[in-house]
Amino acid sequence: MKKLFVLLCILLSFFSSSAQFDFQNQGENQNMSPVSWEAKVEQQNDSIFSVIIIADMDEGWHLPSQKELALDENGPIPTYFDFKYDETVLEKIGKTSEPKGITKFDEIFQSTLTYFLNVAKFEQKFKVKKQNGNLDLEISFMICDDEKCLPLDQKRFNFVVENGKLKTTATKKIEIDSKDEIKTKALKIDLKGQDNFNVESEEEKDSNFTIFLLGFVGGLIALLTPCVFPMIPLTVSFFTKGARTKRIGLINAILYGFFIFVIYLLLSVPFHLLDSVNPEILNNISTNPILNIVFFVIFMLFAFSFFGYYEITLPSSWSNRLDQKATSVGGFIGIFFMALTLALVSFSCTGPILGSLLGGSLTADGGATMLTFGMGGFGLALALPFALFALFPNWLNSLPKSGGWLNTVKVVLGFLELGLAFKFLSNADLVEHWGILKREIFIGIWIIIGIAMLLYLFGKIKFPHDSPNQKISRGRMFFGVITLAFVVYLIPGLSNTSYANLKLLSGFPPPLFYSLYEKETEGPLGLKAYKNFEEGVEAAKAANKPILLDFTGWACVNCRKMEEQVWSVPEVFDVIKNDYILISLYVDDKEKLSEDERFNFQRPNGSVKKIRTIGDKWATFQTLNFKNNSQPYYVLLSPDLKLLNETIAYEPSSKAYLNWLKTGLENFKTE
239 and 379 share one domain: yes
Which range among 324-333, 515-524, 546-555 shows the weakest confidence by mean pLDDT?
A: 324-333
Closest C-alpha among 581, 557, 585 to residue 652: 557
Q: What per-residue confidence (pLDDT) applies to 367? A: 56
For residue 23, is it within any domain? Answer: no
pLDDT in tens, 357-377: 665 555 444 556 777 787 888
Q: DSSP secondary structure string, 418-480?
A: HHHHHHHHHHHHHHHT--SS-HHHHHHHHHHHHHHHHHHHTTSS--TTS-TT----HHHHHHH
CATH of the domain at 570: 3.40.30.10
Q: What per-residue confidence (pLDDT) applies to 198? A: 64
pLDDT in tens, 14-48: 333 333 333 333 333 333 468 888 899 999 888 89
Sheet with 48-57, edge to edge strand ranges: 35-43, 48-57, 119-128, 90-97
Which range among 141-150, 243-252, 355-364, 457-466 shows the weakest confidence by mean pLDDT?
A: 355-364
CATH of the domain at 150: 2.60.40.1250
pLDDT of 656 above 80:
yes
163 and 259 share one domain: no
377 and 252 share one domain: yes
**72 vs 43, higher pLDDT:** 43
Pairing mode, if any, of strands 119-128 and 48-57? antiparallel
Rg (CA), the chain: 29
Other residues' Cβ atoms within 10 Å of the Cβ of residue 146: 10
For residue 364, is it within any domain? Answer: yes
Distance CA 421, CA 37 (A): 44
195 and 215 share one domain: no
596 and 612 share one domain: yes
Distance CA 578, CA 545 (A): 9
pLDDT of 2 above 60:
no
For residue 443, is it within any domain? Answer: no
Domain final residue pick, 356, 372, 401: 401
Q: What per-residue confidence (pLDDT) applies to 6? A: 35
Closest C-alpha among 453, 454, 478, 475 to residue 404: 475
129 and 220 share one domain: no
**671 vs 514, higher pLDDT:** 514
For residue 334, is it within any domain? Answer: yes
pTM (two decimals): 0.56
Domain residue limits at 536: 180-202+524-669
**C-alpha torsion 369→371→374→378, nearest 10:** -130
Q: What per-residue confidence (pLDDT) applies to 409? A: 82
pLDDT of 81 above 60:
yes
77 and 44 share one domain: yes
Contact between 197 and 204 (Cβ < 8 Å): no
Which range among 27-36, 189-198, 259-268, 299-308 shows the weakest confidence by mean pLDDT?
A: 27-36
Which range among 54-68, 140-154, 309-323, 491-505 shows the weakest confidence by mean pLDDT?
A: 309-323
Mean pLDDT of 180-199: 81
Mean pLDDT of 642-651: 90
Peptide bond into 632 cis (omega under 30): yes
Positive or negative: CA dihedral 180, 181, 182, 186 = positive
Length of the chain: 671
Domain final residue pick, 380, 401, 422: 401
For residue 74, is it within any domain? Answer: yes
139 and 243 share one domain: no
196 and 237 share one domain: no
Q: What per-residue confidence (pLDDT) applies to 497? A: 87
**422 vs 179, higher pLDDT:** 422
67 and 84 share one domain: yes
Closest C-alpha among 208, 288, 192 to residue 637: 192
For residue 307, is it within any domain? Answer: yes
Which range among 29-33, 154-158, 223-227, 272-276 shows the weakest confidence by mean pLDDT?
A: 29-33
pLDDT in tens, 561-614: 899 899 999 999 999 999 999 999 998 888 889 988 888 887 665 567 788 889
Closest C-alpha among 141, 129, 125, 134 to residue 56: 141
Domain final residue pick, 355, 374, 401: 401
**40 in helix, strand or coil?**
strand
The model's confidence at residue 345, banded by pLDDT at 50, 70 and 90, is: low
For residue 460, is it within any domain? Answer: no
Q: Total structural domains in the chain?
A: 3
397 and 330 share one domain: yes
Cβ-based neighbours of 77, under 8 Å, separated by 6 or more: 64, 140, 141, 142, 152
Contact between 209 and 627 (Cβ < 8 Å): no
Q: What per-residue confidence (pLDDT) applies to 286? A: 59
Q: Nearest 5°: CA angle at 288, between 187 and 275?
A: 70
pLDDT of 12 above 60:
no
Mean pLDDT of 431-443: 90
Mean pLDDT of 535-563: 91
41 and 134 share one domain: yes
The model's confidence at residue 379, banded by pLDDT at 50, 70 and 90, is: confident
Q: What per-residue confidence (pLDDT) applies to 90? A: 92
For residue 534, is it within any domain? Answer: yes
pLDDT of 388 above 80:
no
Average per-residue pLDDT in the chain?
A: 78
Q: What per-residue confidence (pLDDT) applies to 22? A: 31
pLDDT in tens, 256-276: 778 888 888 787 776 665 544
Mean pLDDT of 274-296: 63
Q: What per-residue confidence (pLDDT) applies to 548? A: 96
Q: What per-residue confidence (pLDDT) applies to 223? A: 74
Cβ-based neighbours of 350, under 8 Å, separated by 6 or more: 222, 225, 227, 228, 343, 382
Q: What per-residue confidence (pLDDT) applies to 347? A: 60
